[in-house]
Chain A
Amino acid sequence: METGLTDVTQTMKVVVSLIPLLPLAGFLFTLLLGKRFMGKRADVLSLAMVTASWVLSMYVVAHVWGHRHEAIDFDLFTWVRAGSFVVKWGYLVDTLTAVMLVVVSTIGMLVHYYSIGYMKNDEGYYRFFAYLNLFMFSMFILILANNYLLVFLAWEAVGLCSYLLIAFWFRKKSASQAGKKAFLVNRVGDFGFTLGLFLIFTTFGTLQFSGVFGKAALGQVGGGTMTAICLLLFAGAVGKSAQFPLHVWLPDAMEGPTPVSALIHAATMVNAGVYMVARSYPLFIHSHTAMLVVMIIGTFTAIYAALIALTQHDIKRVIAYSTISSLGFMFMALGAGAWVAGVFYLLAHGFFKGLLFLDSGSVIHGMSGEQDMRHMGGLRKKMPLTFWTMLVGALAMAGIPPLAGFWAKDEILGGAFVRGYYVVWVVGIAVAFVTAIYMFRLIFLTFWGENRASQEVQGHIHESARVMTVPLVILAIPAALVGVVAGWGPEHGLIHRFLEPVFYDLGSEKFAWAGEGGLLMLVSAIVVALGVYVAYVMYVRRTELPARAAERFPWAYKASFNKFNMDEVYEAVVIRPTIALADWLWTFVDTVIVDGTVNGIAWLWGVLGRALRPWQTGRAQNYALGVFAGLLVLVVMVRIFWGG
Chain B
Amino acid sequence: MAAVDWYLALAVALFCIGAFGVLSRRNVIAVIMSLEIMLNAVNIALVAFANFVPAGAGKGTYFVLFVITLAAAEVTVGLAIAVANYRLRRTVQVDEFSELKG
Q: Which of A35-43, A539-547, A613-621 contacts B (4 or more CB under 8 A)?
A: A613-621
- Whole-angstrom CA separation of A621 from B27 in the bound complex: 11
Instruction: Give 1 or 0 for each of A606-636: 1 = CB within 8 Å of chain B CB.
Output: 0000000100111111001100100000000
- Indicate if B31 sits at the interface (CB-CB under 8 A): yes
B99 (CB) vs chain A CBs: closest residue: A618
- What does the 1/0 interface line of A257-292 toward B look like (CB < 8 Å)? 000000000000000000000000000000000000
Q: Within the assembled complex, what's the spacing in Å between the Cα atoms of A464 and B99?
A: 94
CA distance A621 to B93 in the complex (A): 11
CB pair B94 A618 closer than 8 Å: no
Q: B97, A619: Cβ atoms under 8 Å?
A: yes
Instruction: Give chain A residues whose Cβ lies under 8 Å from the Cβ of B100.
Output: 616, 618
Residues on B with C-beta less than 8 A from A616 are 100-102
B37 → chain A closest CB, angstroms:
15
Give A617 to B101 CA distance when docked, in angstroms: 5
Contact between chains at B98 and A619 (CB < 8 Å): yes
Task: Indicate if the CB atoms of A624 and B23 lie closer than 8 Å.
Answer: yes
Find chain A residues with CB under 8 A from B102 CB: 613, 616, 618
- Structural contact, B94 and A619, CB atoms closer than 8 A: yes
Q: Which residue of B lies closest to A619 (CB)?
A: B98
CB closest residue in chain A, given B19: A628
**Total interface residues in chain A, CB < 8 Å:** 10
Q: Is the interface of A mostly helix, strand, loop or mixed?
A: helix
Q: Is B22 an interface residue (CB 8 A)?
A: yes
Number of A-B contacts (CB under 8 A): 29
Evaluate contact between B97 and A618: CB separation under 8 angstroms: yes
A625 to B21, CA, bound (A): 11
Question: Chain A residue with minimal CB distance to B97?
Answer: A619
- Name the B residues within 8 Å of A620 (CB-CB): 94, 97
Pick the residue among A613, A621, A625 that contacts B94 (CB under 8 A).
A621
Chain B 1-37 near chain A by CB (<8 Å), digits 1 or 0: 0000000000000000001001110000001000000
**Which A residues from 346 to 387 make CB contacts under 8 A with B?**
none
Indicate if the CB atoms of A625 and B97 lie closer than 8 Å. no
Residues of chain A within 8 A of B24, CB atoms compared: 621
* Interface residue from A613, A617, A624, A628 paired with B98 (Cβ < 8 Å): A617
CB <8 Å contact, B23 and A621: yes
Q: Which residues on A sit within 8 Å (CB–CB) of B98?
A: 617-619
Name, among A613, A619, A625, the residue most crowded by chain B CB atoms within 10 Å (CB to CB). A619
> Do residues A625 and B23 form an inter-chain contact, with CB atoms below 8 A?
yes
Give a binary string over B77-102; 1 marks a CB under 8 Å from any A CB, 0 the rest: 00000000000000000110111111
Within 8 A of B (CB), among A553-572: none
In the complex, chain B residues whose CB is within 8 Å of the CB of A624: 22-23
Closest partner residue, chain A, to B100 (CB atom): A618
Minimum distance in angstroms from A6 CB to a CB of chain B? 90
Note all chain B residues with C-beta closer than 8 A to A619.
94-95, 97-98, 101
CB distance from A623 to the nearest CB of B (A): 10
What are 5 residue pairs bridging A and B, where the CB atoms are less than 8 Å apart in the complex?
Answer: A613-B102, A617-B98, A618-B101, A619-B94, A621-B23
19 additional contacts (CB under 8 A) given A619-B95, A620-B94, A628-B23: A613-B102, A616-B100, A616-B101, A616-B102, A618-B97, A618-B100, A618-B101, A618-B102, A619-B94, A619-B97, A619-B98, A619-B101, A621-B22, A621-B24, A621-B31, A621-B94, A624-B22, A625-B23, A628-B19
Chain A to chain B: the 4 pairs with minimum beta-carbon distance, closest first: A618-B101, A618-B98, A618-B100, A619-B98
